[in-house]
Structure 1
């Protein structure tokens, strides 16, 4: 309840946001345009962790307690592996290491998709529910990773949770704009801009849990 009230206050303080984004896929004009832009590099890919449907909701809110967390499902593990394959197949260049939050659903998604040896786990991408009194620092960490310049020819990949992104980018990435396993494609900078939402491995009827 406290987190949702804080989120509402943050959203009310933001400038009027664009209409909620609609996820797009390769094979459509909008999806192919995003992929073409990503091949040039210089962008940030914010990947919401993979599918968690059917898994128990968070209970302990302790980072190291896997049993007390909502984990990715068997389908989510397959989705994660598929995401890594699709990124490589589509020629989307990645800046290493990939950055992932420490809550297992984010960390597992990143490590399955890109390989554990290529993942840096960071509290800057911690889930908001796990941040407690550190929430302000966590939001600042998200903002830094989304805003810092990215070299041409590669894209920074962040794997985390959608609520911190909504807190920063506003309602355009809220609602059903960012399903589990989808990327928000971000143009970095001081006033970073979300260019769109890209689904490389969509799941039938998937993308949102009931917690």
Structure 2
């Protein structure tokens, strides 16, 4: 499968909205086919959060973190239901220890989710050497699906993924609940909003 992004270029969107919508629809369909076929790794950004809450940087302090909103909890449940309804076979499910990611993983995929410290958000990783090691691990991990017909899901955060890709990611490009889909040889195939699977 060719490397394609679900998000059309801005010039295409301005020049020909109907063509852009078709291109986006075709790209989304290709990404959904890749999920059904398996052998890919998804980096799932945690679900929608309550932006009135602030992070303190303390991993074990739920009250001191930005947590999922009710919309985010519902979004996470729908995502798991969509995986099941579409026949997407799960491989490994690993999650950042930050509560918004853990809750996303557990609501979507249940008890199979395993906490993975190397997926921790950058603002919870003040040691630059540790952050660099975490990014190196993630860069390697997205290239290695655990099974040829399964989808591994890594539930994490926007900044570490941007560091893996070597560029900043905007909220519009990679909103809360979005999936970044990687294939072993092709790298990043594209991104899907969670609602695309609903």
- TM range, normalised to the smaller chain? 0.7 to 0.9
Equivalent position SS for 2:188: strand
Aligned to 1:46: 43
1:24-81 CA-partner distances (Å, limit 9, x unpaired): 9xx93221111112211110011000001443121x2011011111111011000000
C-alpha distance in 2 between matches for 1:85 and 1:112: 10
Matched, 1:160 2:145: no
**Deviant stretches of 4+, over 3 Å:** 18-21
1:59-117 CA-partner distances (Å, limit 9, x unpaired): x2011011111111011000000000011111221103x100000010100001100x2
Aligned to 1:78: 74
Equivalent position SS for 1:201: helix
Unaligned runs of at least 5 residues, structure 2 = 9-20
C-alpha distance in 1 between matches for 2:5 and 2:162: 11
Aligned to 1:22: 7
Aligned to 2:124: 130
Matched, 1:99 2:84: no
How large is the Cα RMSD of the aligned pairs?
2.4
Number of aligned pairs? 177
Q: Mapping of 1:165-184 within 5 angstroms?
A: 165-171=161-167, 174-175=169-170, 176-184=172-180
C-alpha distance in 2 between matches for 1:186 and 1:20: 11
Unaligned runs of at least 5 residues, structure 1 = 1-17, 203-211
Quote how far apart the aligned CAs of 1:198 are.
1.1
Matched, 1:69 2:65: yes
Aligned to 2:138: 142
C-alpha distance in 1 between matches for 2:194 and 2:4: 22
Q: TM-score, normalised by structure 2?
A: 0.81
